[in-house]
Amino acid sequence: MKHIAILGSTGSIGTQALEVIRDHPELFKVSVLSAGNNAGLLIEQALEFHPAQVVIGDEQKYGEVKKALAGTEIQVFAGEEALIESVKLTVIDVVLTAVVGFCGLRPTIAAIEAGKHIALANKETLVVAGELINALAKKNKVSILPVDSEHSAIFQCLQGESANKVEKIYLTASGGPFRGKKIDFLASVTKKEALKHPNWTMGAKITIDSATLMNKGLEVIEAKWLFDLEPSQIDVIIHPQSVIHSIAQFQDGSMKAQMGLPDMKLPIQYALGYPDRILNTFPRFDFIKYAQLTFEQPDLSTFRSLGFAFEAMERGGNVPCIMNAANEVVVRAFLNDELGFLEMSEVIERCMSEVSYIRDPNLTDFMETDEETRKIAMQLVTNY
């Protein structure tokens, strides 16, 4: 039996992880559930899964959760520091990091330092601090198991290939809702249009990132740290059907791809169950319904965020942290109708050129870079 803590249990990844766990009570037990402010769903989940602890990020919701769970043995906590403490609970084996954004970094570090394996959905953690996270994971002998579908695909392709080194990987990208569109079209797109992902149902932030191709940019950096690759070994290919989840090309010239219907429950299940495979009854792929699998080059001059990520990866230091913080600010501004679709990349570009460079950042540097960048980005947003 594996004991699982879920950071972000009320989100897209969190709720799908609970579906997997619900189907396998003989394999998994939930130890911690946490949410940002969706107290209602957190309470519902707690009453079904009976974790030892629940944490609600929004401290004003503490009373509501505490009252609803009175009479149970579930401990209730609130706030950011409580989230960080919760991952240290002795019984936990695996922490699933399914919160969105930079706020995933400190709880992930705390979990690694407490010797917990990480099922990593929160890609922003590795984007910001991949080198630091890898060093900590090595020191504490814990695994970072990818949940992101492309990285899970590569991870699955690598099984049994220790003697056949990776030459290159191809991360597939759907292209998002605006694939093939040009600048004049993108100038006036709305958040409603941007939130319509062609293949996946996900949280709002990652869905906007998919529309700008920043999601693929974040995934390129995530792949570098997960698989110890040079930038030249990572390629992105647009694959509108999202059936081939990614491809590894080996030094003997062979290529392995992992494919299937777009359904995050499989990568979640693989990370939670690893190294075991778990039987399931998820719908199976039908070739006739997908008669054509197609591929295209990404359009980097229109979707500039993907280029920013390659630049951030090359420059290293705190540049990926700057890019990530600026991106979080502009996505929120776009979702609040404060910024246009194309203006998002303008603000990110300005932040990447204006925030001070740090070559070998530590955690404090990352916290300060994140804070400084957010201030600059928010100021830039108000000027539009």
Ligand X SMILES: CC(=O)[C@@H](O)[C@H](O)COP(=O)(O)O
Ligand Y SMILES: NC(=O)C1=CN([C@@H]2O[C@H](COP(=O)(O)OP(=O)(O)OC[C@H]3O[C@@H](n4cnc5c(N)ncnc54)[C@H](OP(=O)(O)O)[C@@H]3O)[C@@H](O)[C@H]2O)C=CC1
To the question of whether residue 216 is assigned a binding role by annotation, the answer is yes
126 binds ligand Y (CB under 6 A): no
258 binds ligand Y (CB under 6 A): no
Nearest to 104 by CA among 148, 44, 150: 148
Q: How far is the CB of 18 from ligand Y (least distance, A)?
A: 11
Judged by CB under 5 A, the residue of 124, 148, 222, 365 near Mn ion is 148
Query: One symbol per residue from 13 to 32: x for binding ligand Y (CB under 6 A), - otherwise; what is it?
Result: xx------------------
Q: How far is the CB of 276 from ligand Y (least distance, A)?
A: 22
Nearest to 208 by CA among 95, 305, 309: 305
Q: Is 79 left (phi over 0), alpha (psi -120 to 50) or beta?
A: left
3-state secondary structure of 2: strand
Cα–Cα dist 194/176, whole Å: 8
264 binds ligand X (CB under 6 A): yes
Contact 209, 215 (CB under 8 A): yes
Cα within 13 Å of Cα(368), Cβ side: 9
Q: Return the amino acid letter for 187.
A: A
- Choose the stretch contacting Mn ion; rule: CB under 5 A; options: 144-152, 153-161, 253-261, 280-288: 144-152
Cα–Cα dist 382/375, whole Å: 11
Residue placing its CB nearer to Mn ion in the complex, 120 or 347: 120
Nearest to 310 by CA among 379, 377, 225, 217: 217
Contact 17, 272 (CB under 8 A): yes
Which residue, chain included where needed, has tokens 């189907």? 23
327 binds ligand X (CB under 6 A): no
Q: How far is the CB of 25 from ligand Y (least distance, A)?
A: 22
To the question of whether residue 219 is assigned a binding role by annotation, the answer is yes
Residue placing its CB nearer to ligand Y in the complex, 212 or 380: 212
Residue placing its CB nearer to ligand Y in the complex, 210 or 380: 210
Residue placing its CB nearer to ligand X in the complex, 200 or 227: 200
Q: Decide which of ligand X, ligand Y, Mn ion, none touches 176; Cβ closer than 5 to 8 Å per partner kind.
A: ligand X
Cα–Cα dist 212/349, whole Å: 14
- DSSP result, 109-129: HHHHHTT-EEEE--HHHHHHH
To the question of whether residue 108 is assigned a binding role by annotation, the answer is no
Q: Decide which of ligand X, Mn ion, ligand Y, none touches 210; Cβ closer than 5 to 8 Å per partner kind.
A: ligand X
Could you say which residues in the range 82-111 bind ligand Y, by CB under 6 A? 83, 98-100, 103
> Residue 216: phi, psi to the nearest 5?
-70, -35
Q: Decide which of Mn ion, ligand X, ligand Y, none touches 370; Cβ closer than 5 to 8 Å per partner kind.
A: none
Q: How far is the CB of 148 from ligand X (least distance, A)?
A: 5
To the question of whether residue 176 is assigned a binding role by annotation, the answer is no
Judged by CB under 6 A, the residue of 28, 33, 54, 57 near ligand Y is 57
Q: Over 220-281, what HEC string results?
A: HHHHHHHHCCCHHHEEEEECCCCCEEEEEEECCCCEEEEECCCCCHHHHHHHHHCCCCCCCC
Residue placing its CB nearer to ligand Y in the complex, 12 or 258: 12
Q: Return the amino acid letter for 136.
A: L
Q: How far is the CB of 261 from Mn ion (least distance, A)?
A: 15
Could you say which residues in the range 176-215 bind ligand X, by CB under 6 A? 176, 200, 206, 210, 215
Cα–Cα dist 184/97, whole Å: 38
Cα–Cα dist 122/119, whole Å: 9
Residue placing its CB nearer to Mn ion in the complex, 87 or 323: 323
Q: How far is the CB of 90 from ligand Y (least distance, A)?
A: 22
Q: Decide which of Mn ion, ligand X, ligand Y, none touches 326; Cβ closer than 5 to 8 Å per partner kind.
A: none
H-run or E-run covering 367: helix 363-382
How many of the other CB atoms lie within 10 Å of CB of 368?
A: 16
To the question of whether residue 362 is assigned a binding role by annotation, the answer is no
Q: Which residues bind Mn ion (CB under 5 A)?
A: 148-150
Residue ranges of the annotated binding site are 10-13, 36, 38, 122-124, 148-150, 174, 197, 203, 210, 215-216, 219
Q: Which residues bind ligand Y (CB under 6 A)?
A: 8-14, 34-38, 57, 83, 98-100, 103, 121-124, 148, 200, 202-203, 205-206, 264
Residue ranges of the annotated binding site for NADPH are 10-13, 36, 38, 122, 124, 203
